[in-house]
Structure 1
């Protein structure tokens, strides 16, 4: 492929539609920790570390996974718009915030349009309610396993009742550890917002101050743990998604694999939510690894099943808040430097 073909310019309205899809990716506490920079022939994806969760996610591991999810949505939306993507992960060792660059070339024919995955992007939800009791066929789980492998990750279902129960106990133990930490509770409360804010965990405006106060003040780990234990025990599928390594590039691969799994799940009528406490609490992660009985690093713990009801979409920030050009980035950097000199 020639340089000119690979770096095909895309109309601005098409770019906007592609980026709208990218921003529908999941993220911890709905922080939406990504920024996009438009170049003449491509898009750069940056981590927005002002939206990091230093207590819940001290290494920015989940932040990077979320950006990987956004990158996958971008790839699928571009394909649907008629463009192949070529992604370079971590292209600049001197800029740790620059996670990927994406260039475009035309898609030939309809096969590469990824219509099913694209349609699933806007319908994906984080489903925190109880699932229907209907079991998920093994062939569907096989599809999800292949989906993760396509992106360089693995997907493993915990099949035995003993393993599922042990995972449920780890989830409850993780809840207890997190809620006992006042700094963790303050961080959670800080991301509880009315929907109009466009990010965070949605709380009705009139209730938000009270909800934040309660979360900051009270250790509710036992109650939350009991609820999450029950959700885990009753879920049709508990599965871990992981990678061979545990570095930034692995986390980006995990994010792309996660989003592919979530979108393929939706195509099979499934929704999912997360039980990541045994991975977030460092002392519990080796216990989960032992239960899985395999090499590699679990990055995400999922519960999947058939939803009993429809849920509204989580709020999203305006596209103008997450997209800039190289010129506007330079202006912001210069202004920040002038501010430090004053």
Structure 2
């Protein structure tokens, strides 16, 4: 196993992965022989992601970042996805072995983690779609994922579904309250900060805040309890660690929950 410092460095990079509303719904547990990735059900967004699909995708992005982070530190990740676990909250276990060879691609991908940003504005289509699609399909296949292009014939139907869902969500006070709770604030490392939103989105959020009934936790104290990652010092403090799922501090022993590493803020 690598040193604790190496593991902390890799996990901190992994936690810069994108996630739904920057909710960072992951939890890392360090055992004697491996590292485990758990979903954090306390961070599921019931109105936006009722079935937890986006939560799992967010954790998958963190796992991808972790693999490249360890590769750049000269460790090979041996990943067992979806092992048997109670409640299926364990999404992966990661065994580690010294890397014999590290590709330039692995180093470039790890370096890109710190430069990655989520672009929330509309994007122009790529100039050479066929070439781009072939490259993306090849990358997806490396992770055992099949990718399909819906084509021009399917786009009108997809657009109609998207517009219908947008209308339903605009009229859903629970969804709007959840969106208001996670977006437009800069006090916490989780959530979408105000500076990442377009001006009209910020204005709409403020308008919703004045017009919609309060269905999310109403007080700063309640919100702090739900959104702060832990009350403990960072992981590197000897002898103590924090666990967001337990909402308390305690001495660590093996296996030990890594201090959620949400203090390594995801950048949006």
- Taking structure 1 as the reference length, the TM-score comes to 0.57
- Give 4+ residue runs of structure 1 displaced > 3 Å after superposition: 207-213, 216-219, 320-325, 327-330, 332-336
Is residue 199 of structure 1 aligned with residue 190 of structure 2? yes
Q: Residue 208 of structure 2 corresponds to which residue in structure 1?
A: 215
Question: Which ranges of structure 1 fall in alignment gaps of 5 or more residues?
Answer: 1-8, 220-315, 337-342
**Contact (CA 8 Å) 1:22, 1:73: kept in 2 or not?**
yes
Partner Cα distance (1:125, 1:155) in 2: 23
Q: Residue 138 of structure 2 corresponds to which residue in structure 1?
A: 146
SS at 2:96's partner residue?
A: strand
Task: Call closer, same or farther: CA 1:142–1:133 in 2, change over 3 Å.
Answer: closer
Partner Cα distance (1:168, 1:19) in 2: 38
Q: Higher helix share goes to which structure? A: 1
Is residue 61 of structure 1 aligned with residue 58 of structure 2? no
Q: Residue 120 of structure 2 corresponds to which residue in structure 1?
A: 128
Q: Residue 17 of structure 1 corresponds to which residue in structure 2?
A: 9
Partner Cα distance (1:129, 1:74) in 2: 27
Is residue 115 of structure 1 aligned with residue 107 of structure 2? yes
Alignment root-mean-square deviation, CA: 3.5
Is residue 187 of structure 1 aligned with residue 164 of structure 2? no
Q: Residue 258 of structure 1 corresponds to which residue in structure 2?
A: none
Q: Residue 32 of structure 1 corresponds to which residue in structure 2?
A: 24
Q: Return the offset for 1:104.
A: 0.2
Task: Call closer, same or farther: CA 1:132–1:64 in 2, change over 3 Å.
Answer: closer
Partner Cα distance (2:146, 2:82) in 1: 21
Task: Call closer, same or farther: CA 1:127–1:136 in 2, change over 3 Å.
Answer: farther
Q: Return the offset for 1:35.
A: 1.1
Q: Residue 215 of structure 2 corresponds to which residue in structure 1?
A: none
Q: Residue 168 of structure 1 corresponds to which residue in structure 2?
A: 159
Partner Cα distance (1:128, 1:25) in 2: 15
Q: Residue 105 of structure 1 corresponds to which residue in structure 2?
A: 97
Task: Call closer, same or farther: CA 1:52–1:323 in 2, change over 3 Å.
Answer: farther
SS at 1:32's partner residue?
A: coil
**Contact (CA 8 Å) 2:28, 2:36: kept in 1 or not?**
yes
Question: Which ranges of structure 2 fall in alignment gaps of 5 or more residues?
Answer: 213-227, 250-268
Aligned length: 227
Deviation per CA, 1:7-49: give whole Å up to 9, x if none.
xx11222212211121111111111111112223321111111
- Taking structure 2 as the reference length, the TM-score comes to 0.72
